[in-house]
């Protein structure tokens, strides 16, 4: 696919995704999808399929308005023993999620949709990374919740290099950050 001849639109409000695109050297614009994620049920669907469904919905919403552009939609969820964990509703919910996720390994799944309506292009894939957390103390959990960094984050946390809450991961670090850049590069070129 010749991505250099088309405008790339990132259909996401995520600052981390925007940062990853910029660091990778992509020329892009951001147009935030207006879909209501709450209308998509997480019941009776595999976590990867759910992430792909939301990524496609976000991408399609923006692609409808920009049919000649390459639109990239994404959605990240956490899979804890088959249960889909999204963004916390409030601090109490964030604490519940944090206590659960940092008790044993879990998966972070990002669905990616690449759409160009004019070319009838639709590619939808997902990437999975296993996160092996460190056991957190009550004080660390309280500090994490008080910091507010859990807001608008699937699984109530974000990851960084040398993360004090993560022992190690199996898979893509950028996937856990919200956009599996290795997968994206493979799909675009």
What Cα–Cα distance (Å) separates residue 140 from each residue in 58, 124, 135, 166, 180?
35, 37, 10, 13, 28
| 72 touches 10 (CB < 8 A) | yes
pLDDT, one tens digit per residue, over 84-102 is: 988 899 999 999 999 999 8
Place 152 in a pLDDT band, splitting at 50, 70 and 90: confident
pLDDT at 3 over 80: no
Spot the catalytic one: 2, 64, 75, 90.
Answer: 75
pLDDT classification of 170: cutoffs 50, 70, 90 = very high
Instruction: Return the pLDDT at 43.
Output: 84
Q: What domains can you pick out in the chain, each with its CATH number?
A: 3-188 (3.90.950.10)
Query: What's the pTM?
Result: 0.90
In tens, the pLDDT along 44-83 reads 899 999 999 999 999 999 999 999 999 999 999 999 999 9
Structure tokens at 169: 């991961």
Alpha-carbon span 55 to 60, nearest angstrom: 9
Q: Is the pLDDT of residue 5 over 60?
A: no
Beta-strand relationship, 28-30 and 83-85: unpaired
75 in catalytic set: yes
Q: Tell me what the mean pLDDT of segment 135-152 comes to.
A: 90
The residue-averaged pLDDT of 112-136 equals 95
Q: Give the pLDDT of residue 2.
A: 52
What is the Cα–Cα distance from 136 to 144, expressed in whole angstroms? Answer: 10
The pair of structure tokens assigned to 168 is 């190690």
Burial 63-77 (b: 16+ CB within 10 A, else e): beebeebbbbbbbbb
- Residue 6 binned pLDDT confidence (cut-offs 50, 70, 90): low
How far is it, in rounded angstroms, from Cα 166 to Cα 128?
Answer: 16
pLDDT band at 42 (very low <50, low <70, confident <90, very high): confident
The owner of tokens 């972070």 is 108
């Amino acid at each position: 696919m010749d991505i250099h001849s088309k405008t790339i639109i990132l259909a996401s409000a995520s600052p981390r995704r925007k940062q990853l695109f910029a660091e990778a050297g992509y020329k892009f614009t951001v147009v935030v999808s207006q879909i209501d994620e709450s209308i998509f049920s997480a019941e009776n669907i595999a976590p990867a399929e759910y992430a792909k469904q939301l990524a496609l919905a976000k991408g399609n919403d923006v692609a409808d308005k920009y049919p000649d552009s390459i639109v990239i939609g994404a959605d990240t969820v956490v899979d804890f023993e088959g249960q889909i964990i999204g963004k916390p509703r409030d601090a109490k919910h964030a604490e519940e999620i944090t206590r659960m996720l940092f008790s044993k390994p879990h998966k972070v799944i990002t669905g990616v949709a690449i759409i160009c309506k004019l070319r009838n292009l639709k590619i939808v894939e997902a990437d999975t990374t296993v996160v092996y957390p460190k056991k957190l103390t009550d004080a660390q959990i309280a500090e994490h919740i008080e910091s507010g960094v859990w807001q608008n984050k699937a699984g109530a946390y974000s990851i960084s290099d040398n993360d004090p809450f993560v022992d190690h991961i199996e898979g893509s670090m950028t996937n856990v950050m919200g956009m599996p850049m290795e997968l994206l590069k493979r799909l675009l070129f």
